[in-house]
Structure 1
Amino acid sequence: MSGRTHTRARPERTCVGCRERAAKSDLLRIVAVEGACVPDHRGTLPGRGAYVHPAVVCLDQAVRRRAFSRALRFPGVLDTAELRTAVDKAAEATP
């Protein structure tokens, strides 16, 4: 035996809210579009992305620490209203 595992490697990203690493598929990608944080559900929007768990707790931590502006390299404050709506919907859908 070579000692190698035969499981497929899954890409990991770090949540900007809680700073924990998780599978990319478990996180929500965020992109800055015209001064607002926009959720990128399909992962195809152009530009730099940041990742956050689709949970209100992680979103609140990221907003409080101004993590989105830093991670997306955006000068100034980003509007997170649309992002909050998307996270609230995701939280309601998960039991």
Structure 2
Amino acid sequence: MAEVDGQPAVVHDPERALPGRGAWLHPDEDCWQLALRRSAFGRALRSAARLDQVGISAVVAALTPEHDRMT
């Protein structure tokens, strides 16, 4: 979790260099959708704030193999 434009946001940190808590997620669209439905990021990151997840959504889509997105 990081701040983007002063708001808490879920961000991709492949180098694991950002300070604070992190959350693991499989690079899979189904896993991402399940995490969203279960509101998993707020719990994993121990944040009651509404988290912006737009940026990480694009990263997950890019990491998901093309054939997995078509099914």
**Fold in common (TM above 0.5):** yes
Name structure 1 gaps, 5 residues minimum: 1-31
- The runs of at least 4 aligned residues of structure 1 exceeding 3 Å deviation read 92-95
Larger Rg: 1
Higher strand proportion, which one? 1
- Deviations 1:54-91 (CA, angstroms, capped at 9, x unpaired): 11111111111110000101112211111110011111
Q: Does 1:52 find its partner at 2:25? A: yes
- Residue 64 of structure 1, aligned match among 15, 37, 58: 37
- State percent identity of aligned pairs: 39
Q: CA RMSD in A?
A: 1.7
Name structure 2 gaps, 5 residues minimum: none
Q: TM-score, normalised by structure 1?
A: 0.61
- Structure number with greater CO (CA < 8 Å, separation at least 6) is 2
- Deviations 1:34-64 (CA, angstroms, capped at 9, x unpaired): 2110011111111101100011111111111
The alignment of Structure 1 onto Structure 2 pairs a total of residues equal to 64
Structure 1 partner of 2:58: 85
Q: Distance in 1 between matches of 2:67 and 2:45?
A: 27
Q: TM-score, normalised by structure 2?
A: 0.80
